[in-house]
Amino acid sequence: MDKKTMKRLQKPTQESKIKRDLFAELTEGMDSLADTRAGKRTLRSHSIELEPATATSKEIIRVQKNQNRLPH
């Protein structure tokens, strides 16, 4: 590893040592979703208003070239 990577590594904290049960979290989320769709529960939701994109085709091509997605 290089020196920059070594500096970023941190000692594990007490909080990070706690193991999460991801399957249980996913199961709980799916159960909540099923309850919501059945009308038994209301989950928090947020509505947003999307604005149309203002980028021109030249700007999109420039960005894609900068990200190496198009040949130069």
Query: With left for phi above 0 and alpha for psi between -120 and 50, is residue 68 left, alpha or beta?
Result: left
- Nearest partner of 23 among 31, 34, 15, judged by Cα: 31
Please give the distance of CA 58 from its chain centroid, rounded to a whole number: 28
> pLDDT per residue over 37-61, tens digit each?
999 988 888 899 999 889 999 998 8
Question: What sign does the dihedral 15-16-17-23 (CA atoms) show?
Answer: positive
- pLDDT above 50 for 1: no
Question: Do 61 and 70 contact (CB within 8 A), yes or no?
Answer: yes
Q: What is the pTM of this model?
A: 0.40
